[in-house]
Amino acid sequence: MSQDFSQELKKAVDVLQNGGLILYPTDTVWGIGCDATNEEAVKKVYTLKQREDNKALICLVGNDAMLERHIEKVPDLAYDIIDLTTKPTTIIYDNPKGVAKNLIAEDNTLAVRIASDKFCQYLINKFKKPIVSTSANISGQPTPRNKNEISTVILKGVDYIVNLQPEQNFESASSIIKLSNDGKVKVIRE
């Protein structure tokens, strides 16, 4: 691990622990992140994005164990989807727990992705909690495909900008699949 990588990791974790917002490269697009268990931090993300808080945000976890700590019952099918997909895939689960209330959708679901990007995995594992991941744009504006396309409002609105390039740039958001505990599967975004 390079010194730059370690320093960026430490700075980002410090900001997250203090309820701040970070701008960071994810396994899809540049994201705005915060502590997914901190209601005030989540509120800051909605405010920055100028987004209503009834539009749920995605949450990143580092591994299966963290996923299981924050979802009442992970359907077996979820593990098959996670193992088989080649593109980053977010799954919407029923009955989340241990996250900020304003992160949970009105139908008591939460969109979660196990991060595949090295920086995201290290960050989550060092922080030891799920992190919000939402595209770095004002709600309704196009999703920036790279750091240069991120608006000044977003750049000035976060507490820290991670100074690393993404490992691989997918330049598109993740696929989203809704898995209900009654066995229903619905593709929300391919």
* Interatomic CA distance for residues 52 and 136, integer angstroms: 16
- Residue-wise pLDDT tens digits, 101-118: 999 999 999 999 999 888
Q: Sorting pLDDT into bands at 50, 70 and 90, what band is 52?
A: confident
Residue 117: the pLDDT is: 86
State the fold for domain 3-189: DHBP synthase (3.90.870)
pTM confidence score: 0.93
Higher-confidence residue of 56 and 111: namely: 111
* Interatomic CA distance for residues 19 and 21, integer angstroms: 7
Cβ atoms of 153 and 15 within 8 Å: the answer is no
For 107-139, the DSSP string reads TSEEEEEE--SHHHHHHHHHHTS-EEEEESS-T
Q: Sorting pLDDT into bands at 50, 70 and 90, what band is 171?
A: low
Residue 86: the pLDDT is: 83
Residue 95: the pLDDT is: 96
**Which residues fall within 8 angstroms of residue 161, CB to CB, at 6 or more apart?**
22, 23, 24, 155
The residue extents of the domains of the chain are: 3-189
Range 64-78 average pLDDT: 96
